Amino acid sequence: MVNHEPNGTKIDSCAAGQRHPKPGLPAWILGPVALVFIALAGVYAFGTTFSQFADYDDQGTMMVCIRGYLEGHPLYSSVRLMYGPCYFMYEAILHRMTCLPVTHDITGMICIAHWLGAACVLAVAGGLMTRSALLGVFIFMQATIHLQHVAREPGHPQELVVLALALSILVAAAGPPRGWRLALLGAIGAVLVFTKINVGAFFGVALLMALLSHAPFLQARRGWFWGLLALSGSLSFLLMRDHLAEVWARDYSSVVAASVIAAGAFTYTLAGERRIGFRAWLQTGIPFGVVSVLLLLAMVANGMSFSGMVNSTVKLAAALPGTAHFSFIIPQGAWW
């Protein structure tokens, strides 16, 4: 149906209705329901965080590193670690602005804040994607349960990682890939690279494949895209090559490869005629470069060693899977 405004503008009421559907629940009901679920999740998160202790004690290690950095000791020389500097800069800003000490209780509460914050962001993103407040609440419940593993290592950089990844999903769910959305995704990619370089690399590959899905060159050459997609799906087997003799490693790699290829195929098909040009690549790459340079300048200002960061976050981290790893048993239901 086409309606005419007084100024003569034509409006497709059906399309407008699709863009702005009516919410499933009124705000006066949704608000209290959300608060109840957040309160229940808070009780669950508090009990989970303060009722367990990992035998490898990453919490103590990270607290020592954060405290050392706050006391002025440069990373990668006086403070030895395998993670990027972004997380420690973030923690330093957080503790200095709030005047909170580095204690077990404070570290645990900060972990809970990141945990539930990421769950709330994912709930909002899911609500935007599905146009359903009820599904948003369900996603919040699922995210709260699945992110409980961060409670085994309070103070670990994965707290910032899960929050940054959740924000990236919210940005992507806000609309088509253009303008400020691409800029934010590029900036988030830089933060992830300088927090945990492996997560940053995975995020970069995913963002690259998403952009390529909309590229006119690959939209016109489908065989090239499917080849790149198959290559990205095979990365799981490449990374697990030392353990492929074990069933759990083959199962894990297969599920990851199938998920990557399915997601890529869906993105490529959904892109359709919505293509992006060279400007979109600049809108993504420039913020990534700017944030990276700013983080490197902050490293130099704080007396950190760039070579030390590379040795710790790349060389030392690359050698870790050969000395320590955990078997990840995938239930049969994961195949569905």
Question: Which pLDDT value is given to residue 2?
Answer: 46
Which DSSP letter does residue 149 get? G
59/54 Cα distance (integer angstroms):
8
Q: Could you give the angle at the alpha carbon of 18 between the alpha carbons of 12 and 22, nearest 5°?
A: 115
The tens digit of pLDDT for each residue in 118-161 reads 999 999 999 999 888 889 889 999 999 999 989 988 999 999 99
Residues written for the chain: 336
Contact assessment for residue 161 and residue 199, using Cβ atoms and an 8 Å cutoff = yes
Contact assessment for residue 244 and residue 250, using Cβ atoms and an 8 Å cutoff = yes
Contact assessment for residue 63 and residue 69, using Cβ atoms and an 8 Å cutoff = no
* Stretches in the chain below the pLDDT threshold 70: 1-25, 27-28, 272-274, 321-325, 333-336
Question: Which pLDDT value is given to residue 321?
Answer: 64
Question: Which pLDDT value is given to residue 273?
Answer: 65
Question: Which pLDDT value is given to residue 24?
Answer: 58
Question: Which pLDDT value is given to residue 327?
Answer: 74
* Residue 3, C-beta contacts closer than 8 angstroms, at least 6 positions apart: 10, 11, 13
Question: Which pLDDT value is given to residue 25?
Answer: 62
Structure tokens at 240: 């697990």
Q: Could you give the angle at the alpha carbon of 19 between the alpha carbons of 13 and 25, nearest 5°?
A: 105
